């Protein structure tokens, strides 16, 4: 892999009443181009990650809006793989570069979620689950099943789940683009409103507007962060068809490929943005990526091993929980955040982990210099 | 380009009341694999083209359903670029192969359009136009503007438009998978119900359920059709921002790249599947692809130059008009049909042309042996 991250940008995440899909797309795209120090005319192709522009914004064919922002109309397309759209768009862009067709491309993830009712939002998000075999189950309900299984098998506690949320909210205090800047206590999380037992409101990532973009290039880029390896994994869409509910096999598959390609071991990862759509999801990922043994992630989080001064810094941006989760943008935002830390030499090797559905799709990127 | 089309398959196109999105996806995927003579386990990745599964079928993350059809869960993603989703998915798959990541991949285009009301269908389809600057304009209305401009500049006649529909319906009589097997006369088309002046009902492609799939490979495949070149072009999403309404520049750009890569001239193309969502669209494409000079496509069609015994056979499948237009599947179906004719040595060099929106995205493939 010889792909560098030449520039990156994240818009503010949050309830952005004065910005629509187009404004967010444009801000992120040109923010990343400016950060990359290139001219817009040097963008050879655009890969747009978006989960549900048709549902949220009555807008399909978003890719053509992206092309139209440039005088030279670069070729574009939209990639969708539920909440893994961002990570999979990166994979697609990387393959396009490696094909030799393009040298420098733009990847933009965007989602404008707050323009529809919460009932409609739930319907749209749930369409990424198995709407036939899991009909009526929302994602909080599906992840609650995963949490129940983990609690049952390993004795994972309420306090351990809460520790994930507390830590991610604390990290977000240092991220100006994060949706929430609100310090939480374990008790506040543990006593927040029940959503789907055992998951409570403060276990859940929010509904978010936002966009993120990166400029990727195969050109020599001294001092720029590089993609060392990536992997993609799949599993059944419905939970009922899986042999285990205490792990996400798609994450394990994606990690195996990514570690192999990068020539890196889990123990070498110093910082990671993981897909914590719910607190249990961060715990599962911490185990599935090999940072700690199965069943040990709860204590690992509670004991402060996943923050500064611990073993590995997980979700320094605040994660999906506190930085926010504009679903199509998330996978790109993860790379934006990790690559900035690598660029500033705060860490040597980082990882991003993006999940679609309740683990049917997963993608892992490993970043270094 | 060294990519062969190892196998292909098209489901029946039409109003398929007893088949849902999953059944269509599965039939096309395994039909193409069987035709390719490979084992399902040899599929290394899956590229799903779909325009609006969220809107039509309350189903996003369709790619994960595709992976789940295989015991080894190959990586998958969904590509969307309005009605060019199929053609762009082929481009994405080709780049993935050329990157060296995969040798043999599956591309499946699918759309299940008949499960929602016609009002809802119109809303979903229109979301691929510029919903802000063209609000209230349906695609028949937008293509009617293009037709008006062509008529005004070149004197294109009602009879010439009708000739396209008559020819495509006649071609469809030989395609068992076509939605319509109904011979039409010029008068029937010219006197059919007015939809958006000057376009009438029989100028318009229908609402269709269907799927199509191809297996692409970089492995040596003696006697199999090959992709000689491809190109993608873009233009403004809204018609009002264009300098000309009598041509689609995206088609011209896509063709230029494709001809150059293939080392082929327009005059060498013997057979083509063009994006005739409306009769005027086939006329525009006939000119933009260089088969005839601008303003001459109407007579070219009326004089029988675009059918067997003429200069070039356009839309032998029946085209979008008579074979049907399951929007996400169309671009893949075009390659299925052309590659079968090339395989059987009925023609030496063929072309496919797939358009998104009213010409904001276009993709051209050139196929030979």
Stretch A37-55: mean pLDDT:
97
Instruction: Provide the pLDDT for residue A135.
Output: 83
Name which of B61, B81, B233 is nearest A357 (Cβ-Cβ): B61
Establish whether A83 is a catalytic residue.
yes
3-state secondary structure of A210: strand
Q: What is the pLDDT of residues A270-301, one digit of tens each?
A: 999 999 999 999 999 999 999 999 999 999 99
A residues 7-36 lying closer than 8 A (beta carbon) to B: 22
Residue A345 has phi, psi (to 5 degrees) of 60, 25
Q: Does B128 touch chain A if contact means CB atoms closer than 8 Å?
A: yes
Stretch B217-234: mean pLDDT:
96
Q: What is the pLDDT of residues B201-219, one digit of tens each?
A: 999 999 999 999 999 999 9
Stretch B85-111: mean pLDDT:
98
Instruction: Provide the pLDDT for residue B256.
Output: 98
The secondary element (H helix, E strand) that includes residue A66 is helix A62-68
Q: Does A260 touch chain B if contact means CB atoms closer than 8 Å?
A: no
Closest chain B residue by Cα to residue A242? B68
Mean pLDDT of chain B: 97
Q: What is the pLDDT of residues B45-55, one digit of tens each?
A: 999 999 999 99
Between chains, do A75 and B101 touch, taking CB under 8 Å as contact?
A: no
The backbone region for A121, taken as left when phi is positive above 0, alpha when psi lies in -120 to 50, beta otherwise, is: alpha
Mean pLDDT of chain A: 97
Instruction: Provide the pLDDT for residue B136.
Output: 83
Show residues of chain B in contact with A95, CB under 8 Å.
92, 95-96, 99, 101
The backbone region for A103, taken as left when phi is positive above 0, alpha when psi lies in -120 to 50, beta otherwise, is: alpha
For residue A230, the cross-strand partners are A365
Q: What is the pLDDT of residues B114-161, one digit of tens each?
A: 999 999 999 999 999 998 999 889 999 999 999 999 999 999 999 999
Residue of A169, A171, A275, A325 with catalytic role = A325
For chain B, count helices (H), then strands (E).
Answer: 13, 12
Instruction: Provide the pLDDT for residue B1.
Output: 64
Q: What is the pLDDT of residues A202-252, one digit of tens each?
A: 999 999 999 999 999 999 998 999 999 999 999 999 999 999 999 999 999
Angle CA(B261)–CA(B265)–CA(B267) in degrees, nearest 5?
155
Q: Quick one: pLDDT band at residue B70, thresholds 50, 70, 90?
A: very high
Asked if pLDDT for residue A136 goes beyond 90, the answer is no
* Number of Cβ atoms within 10 Å of the Cβ of A153: 14
In this structure, what DSSP letter does residue B75 have?
-
What does DSSP say about strands A194-196 and B76-80: parallel, antiparallel, or unpaired?
unpaired
Stretch B73-99: mean pLDDT:
98
Nearest-10 crossing angle of helices A85-98, A330-343: 70
Name which of B64, B73, B234 is nearest A76 (Cβ-Cβ): B234
Stretch A22-31: mean pLDDT:
98
Stretch B178-200: mean pLDDT:
98
Dihedral angle of Cα A31, A35, A37, A42, to the nearest 10 degrees: -50
Instruction: Provide the pLDDT for residue B135.
Output: 83
Asked if pLDDT for residue A196 goes beyond 80, the answer is yes
Q: Quick one: pLDDT band at residue A1, thresholds 50, 70, 90?
A: low
B residues 297-356 lying closer than 8 A (beta carbon) to A: 356
Q: Does A358 touch chain B if contact means CB atoms closer than 8 Å?
A: no
């Amino acid at each position: 892999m010889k792909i560098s991250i030449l520039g990156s940008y994240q818009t503010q995440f949050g309830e952005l009443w004065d910005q629509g899909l187009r404004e967010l797309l444009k801000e992120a795209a040109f923010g990343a181009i400016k950060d990359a120090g290139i001219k817009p005319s040097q963008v050879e192709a655009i890969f747009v990650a978006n989960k549900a522009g048709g549902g949220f914004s009555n807008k399909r064919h978003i890719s053509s809006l992206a092309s139209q922002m440039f005088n030279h109309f670069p070729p574009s397309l939209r990639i969708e793989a539920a909440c893994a759209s961002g990570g999979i768009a990166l994979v697609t862009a990387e393959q396009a570069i490696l094909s030799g067709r393009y040298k420098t491309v733009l990847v933009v993830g965007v989602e404008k979620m707050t323009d529809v009712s919460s009932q409609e939002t739930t319907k749209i998000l749930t369409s990424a689950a198995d709407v036939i075999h899991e009909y009526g189950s929302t994602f909080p309900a599906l992840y609650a099943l995963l949490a129940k299984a983990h609690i049952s098998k390993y004795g994972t506690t309420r306090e351990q789940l809460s520790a994930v949320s507390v830590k991610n909210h604390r990290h977000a205090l240092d991220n100006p683009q994060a949706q929430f800047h609100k310090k939480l206590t374990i008790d506040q999380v543990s006593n927040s409103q029940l959503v789907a037992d055992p998951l409570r409101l403060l276990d859940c990532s929010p509904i978010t507007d936002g966009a993120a973009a990166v400029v990727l290039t195969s050109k020599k880029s001294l001092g720029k962060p590089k993609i060392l390896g990536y992997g993609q994994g799949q599993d059944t869409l419905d939970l009922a068809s899986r042999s285990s509910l205490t792990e996400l096999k798609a994450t394990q598959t994606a990690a195996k490929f990514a570690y192999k390609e990068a020539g890196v071991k889990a123990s070498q990862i110093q910082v990671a943005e993981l897909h914590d759509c719910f607190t249990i999801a961060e715990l599962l990922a911490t185990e599935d990526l090999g940072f700690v043994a199965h069943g040990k992630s709860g204590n690992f989080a509670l004991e402060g091993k996943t923050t500064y001064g611990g073993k590995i810094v997980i979700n320094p941006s605040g994660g999906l929980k506190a930085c926010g989760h504009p679903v199509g943008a998330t996978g790109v935002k993860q790379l934006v955040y990790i690559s900035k830390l690598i660029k500033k030499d705060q860490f040597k090797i980082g990882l991003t982990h993006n999940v679609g559905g309740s683990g049917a799709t997963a993608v892992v990127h490993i970043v270094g210099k």
